[in-house]
Amino acid sequence: MVGWARRHRWFLGVLGAGVALRAVAMLGYRPALWFPDSYTYVVTALKPRPDLVRPAGYSMFLRLLEPFHSFALVALVQHLLGLCVGVLVYVTARRLRAPGWAATLASVPALLDAYQVELEHLLVSDTLFGVLVMSAACLGVRRSLGWRTACGIGVLLAAATLTRTVGLPLVALFAGWLIVRERGRVFAAGVMLAAATVPILGYGAWFYATYQRIGIVGANGVFLYAKTMTFADCAVMKPPPELAVLCDPRPPALRPPAQEYIWSQDAPLVKLPGITFTRENDTLAGRFASLAIWSQPLDYLGSVVSELSRSFTLDRPVYPDQEVYDYYEFPATPPAPPGRYPATVGAEFARRYEAGPIEPRIVEPYAGWIRAYQDVAALPGASVLVILLVPPAVAGARRLRPASPARGPRHAAAGAARGTAAWALPWTVAAVLLVMPPAVAEFDYRYVLPAVPLACLAAALAASRPCPSRV
Give the pLDDT score at 449. 97
Q: Where are the domains of the chain?
A: 2-214+323-462, 220-322
What are the Cα distances from residue 173, in Å, to 38, 92, 137, 160, 391?
Answer: 29, 20, 11, 14, 18
**pLDDT value of position 417:** 34
Buried residues in 290-322 as b, exposed as e (16+ CB within 10 A): ebbbebbeebbeebbeebbebbbeeeeeebbee
Q: Which residues pair with 361 in a beta bridge?
A: 30
| Contact by Cβ (8 Å): 351, 13 | no
Give burial (CB, 10 Å; 0-12/13-18/19+) of 78.
buried
Q: 255 φ, ψ to 5°?
A: -85, 155
- Listed as ranges, residues in the chain with pLDDT below 70 are 339, 341, 402-420, 466-471
What is the predicted pLDDT for the residue at 439?
96
Q: What is the pLDDT of residue 418?
A: 41
Shortest CA distance to 221 belongs to which of 305, 288, 160, 270? 288
What single DSSP character describes residue 339? Answer: -
Each residue's pLDDT tens digit, 418-437: 434 899 999 999 999 999 99
Amino acid at 112: L
